[in-house]
Amino acid sequence: MNMKITYRKVNLITTFVLMVGILAACGSDNTKEDSQSTGNKENKSVTLRLFSNQPDRKSGQGLAEQMVVDNYMKENPNVKIEVEAVGDEPFRNKQKAYMASNEPIDITMVHSGADLNTLIQAKFVTELNPKDYEGQNYNFFDGAFKSFTFDGKLYGLPRNSDYEIIYYNKKLFSDNGVKVPTTFNELIDAAKTFRSKDITPMSTNGKELWTFGLLFQDFAQRVNGDPNAILDAVDQKKSFTEDDSFLQTAKLMKQFMDVKMFQDAYMTADYGSSQNLFTQGKAAMWYMGSWEAGMASNEKLSADFRNNLGVMRVPLVEDGKGKATDLLAWNGGGYALTTSSIHPEEAKKFFDYMMRADQWAKAAWDTGAAVPAQKYQLTGKESEVQKQLTDILNNGTSMPGASFIDFGTPGFKDDVQNALGKFFAGTATSEQLIADFQAAAAKQKK
C-alpha cells in the first residue's frame, strides 16, 4: 500500500516537473541574443539594429542610408549594423507594434508630427540635446527641428527638406503640344488635352490619402497666400468653415475630378503603382515630394524616362493671393534613438555619425536621393532635376514648415484623411469636406 502511494506521488511529481519545465522553456527570453555583446571591454563587438522605411537598398534614399551604414561599419569594425527595412505603410504599422512590445531596436526612422508624437507619449524615443547638433559638423537649416520638437524638447533629427512639386514627362508634353502649366487654368487645360489623347494627366496614390492632404494644402496656400492659415485652422485659432479660401480650394479640387486629372483607378493606387504609371510614361505628371529626386539617377528606370524627367512648381491660382514661388515645405522624415536600445551609447555614436552633414546629407545629395535638411555642397555633377530642385528650394517663399494632416493628433489625421477619401471618391461635396475638416479639428481640441 505504502509502495503504491509513493509510486503515485513520484508519478505526479514527475508529471508536474515536466510540465513546469515545458512551460518554462516556452517562455525563455531570446530577444537579447540577437544583439548580444561579446568580447572584452576595449573592443567588444556590438550589433545595432536600424529600423528603416527604405527597403530598396540599391537606389534612392535606401542606397544613401546603406552608404552611411557601410561607412560606419568600415570605420568601426567592432560594430555591426543590422538594417530592417520595409515599405512605408507597413513600416508605420510595424513601428507601432514595436512601440507596444518595446522591441529592442536602436535607431529608427520616424515620421515627424502626429506619428512621432505617439512614440514620444509611449516613451519609445529618446530626448536629444539640440546643442549636440549645432555647428559646422551638422549644418542644419534654420527651423529644421520644428516638427521634431514637442513641448520644447527635441526627439529626432530630420533627414530631408521635403517639399511638393510636380514631376512631369517632358516628352509627353512636347509630343502632344501641351504647354507646361504655370497657372491652375493651364493645368486644367493640360489635363483636358491629355485626356483627349487617352493619356493620364496626373498619377496619384489615392489609396493612401495623404497626398490629397498635401495637394489641398498646397492649393489652399495659393488661394489665400498665407501658409499658416491652414495650420491655424487645425489649431482652431480660426475656423475651416469661416475662412472662405478653404471652400474655394475644395472647389478647385472638384475641378480636378471633373476633368479626370488622375488615373482611372486612382482610389486603389498605392505609392508604387502610382509611381510606376508615371515612370512607365503612361501619366504625364506626378504630384510628389522632393524625396523622389533620385528618379533622375535611378538606373532601374528607362534612360528615355530619365532624360525626359522635368520638375515644375505647383501652378499658381489665377485670382489667388499666393505667389508662384510659394512652397509647401516641411521636414517629414527623420531618425530617432529608442529607449528600448540595448546599447544606447553605441547607438548614439552611430546616430551622431549618421546625421553629420558629411554623411547622410552628403550621401543623400550625391546619390541624388533627396534634398537634405542640412547645408550641402554642390558637386557640379548634379542632374538637371537636382539643379531645378535646389533652385525651387532656394527661391521658395512662404513655407508652412508642417503638413496640415500631421499637425494635429493621429486621430485628427485619420478623420481628415477619411474626409478626403469621401470627397475624392465623389461621395462628399466641397462644403461637406470643409465641414468635416472643421469637425475633425474641433474634435481634437476638445
Partner 1 sequence: MQKVLSNKLAIFLFVFPGILLFALTFLAPIVLSFYYSFTDTLGPGTKLTMIGFENYKQLLLHDSRFWRSLLNAVLLGLGFIILQHPVCILFAILLDRLGGKAEKIFRTIFFIPCVISVVVISRMWLNLMDPSFGMVNKLLDIVGLSSWKHAWLGDTSTALISLLFILIWSGFGWGLLFYYSGIKGIPEDLYEAAHLDGASGIKLHWKITVPLLSPVIAVQVTLAMITALKQMETVFLTTNGGPGDATQFLGVYLYNKAFSASQYGYANAIAILFIIVCLVATYLSNRFIPSENA
Decide if residue 254 touches partner 1 (CB under 8 A): no
Cell of 94: 510595424
Q: How far is CA 321 from the centre of its chain?
A: 29
92 binds partner 1 (CB under 8 A): yes
Size of site (CB under 8 A) for partner 1: 47
> Considering the complex, what minimum distance in angstroms separates the CB of residue 89 from partner 1?
9
For partner 1, the binding residue among 40, 97, 299, 303 (CB under 8 A) is: 97
Tell whether residue 265 is a contact of partner 1 (CB under 8 A). yes
Check binding of 23 to partner 1 (CB under 8 A).
Answer: yes
Q: What DSSP line would sit under 245-287, residue for residue?
A: HHHHHHHHHHHHHHTT-B-TTGGG--HHHHHHHHHTTSEEEEE
Q: Is the dihedral of CA 179, 181, 186, 189 positive or negative?
A: positive
* 332: contact with partner 1 by CB under 8 A: no
- Residue 407 touches partner 1, criterion: CB under 8 A: no
According to the binding rule CB under 8 A, does residue 99 interact with partner 1? yes
Among 1, 3, 22, 25, binds partner 1 (CB under 8 A): 22
Binding to partner 1 (CB under 8 A) within 24-83 occurs at none
Among residues 6, 34, 100, 174, the one that binds partner 1 under rule CB under 8 A: 100
Q: How far is the CB of 337 from partner 1 (least distance, A)?
A: 17
Instruction: Please identify which residue in 422, 432, 435, 442 interacts with partner 1, judged by CB under 8 A.
Output: 422
Question: Measured between alpha carbons, how far apart are the two ends of the chain, in Å?
Answer: 75
Q: 368: alpha, beta or left, given left = phi > 0 and alpha = psi -120 to 50?
A: left
What are the DSSP E strand ranges found in 293-426?
309-312, 329-330, 333-337
Phi, psi of 335, deg, nearest 5: -130, 155
Q: Does 11 sit near partner 1 (CB under 8 A)?
A: yes
Report yes or no: 373 and 203 within 8 Å, Cβ to Cβ: no
Decide: 379 and 366 in contact? Cβ < 8 Å: yes
As measured in angstroms, the least distance from the Cβ of 150 to partner 1 is 13
Listing DSSP states for 294-322 in one string gives GGGG-TTS-HHHHHTEEEEPPPBPTTSS-
Q: Which of 257, 390, 421, 432 binds partner 1 (CB under 8 A)?
A: 421
Q: Which stretch binds partner 1 (CB under 8 A): 33-41, 66-74, 307-315, 420-428?
A: 420-428
Report in angstroms how near the CB of residue 15 gets to partner 1 at its nearest.
Answer: 6
**Taking CB under 8 A as the rule, does residue 109 contact partner 1?**
no
Residue nearer to partner 1 on the CB measure, 114 or 370: 114
Q: Is 414 in the site for partner 1 (CB under 8 A)?
A: yes
DSSP secondary structure letter of residue 181: P
- Looking at the DSSP bridge assignments, the partners of residue 413 are none
Distances (CA, A) of 394 to 168, 320, 372, 445: 21, 23, 13, 36
**Cβ of 121: how many Cβ atoms within 10 Å?**
10
Query: For partner 1, what does the binding mask look like between residues 275 and 314, x meaning CB under 8 A?
Result: -------x--------------------------------
Compute the least distance from the CB of residue 267 to partner 1, in Å.
4
Binding partner 1 (rule: CB under 8 A), the pick from 249, 263, 274, 444 is 263
Nearer to partner 1, 243 or 436 (CB): 436
> Given candidates 37, 47, 76, 102, which one binds partner 1 under the rule CB under 8 A?
102
Q: Per the structure block, which three cell numbers stand in for 434?
A: 470643409
Residue 174, C-alpha cell as written in the block? 512636347
Tell me how far apart the alpha carbons of residues 412 and 116 are, in angstroms, rounded to a whole number: 14
114 binds partner 1 (CB under 8 A): yes
Look-up: residue for cell 514637442?
150
What are the CA-CA distances from residue 250 to residues 22, 167, 288, 319 (Å)?
Answer: 62, 23, 19, 15
Q: Confirm or reject binding of residue 136 to partner 1 (CB under 8 A).
A: no
- Cβ atoms within 10 Å of 348's Cβ, excluding its own: 17
Q: What cell was used for 431? A: 462644403
Q: Of 163 and 412, which CB lies nearer to partner 1 in the complex structure? A: 412
Q: Which is nearer to partner 1, 4 or 381 (CB)?
A: 4
Give yes or no for residue 113 binding partner 1 (CB under 8 A): no
Rounded Cα distance between 110 and 406, Å, is 13
The 197-216 site mask, x for binding partner 1 (CB under 8 A), equals: ---x-----xx-x-------
Q: Which residues face 150 on adjacent strands?
A: 153
- Measured from the CB atom, is 394 or 427 closer to partner 1? 427
Residues that bind partner 1 (CB under 8 A): 8, 11-12, 15-16, 19, 22-23, 92-93, 96-97, 99-100, 102, 114, 118, 121-124, 200, 206-207, 209, 263-269, 282, 409-411, 413-415, 418, 421-422, 424-428
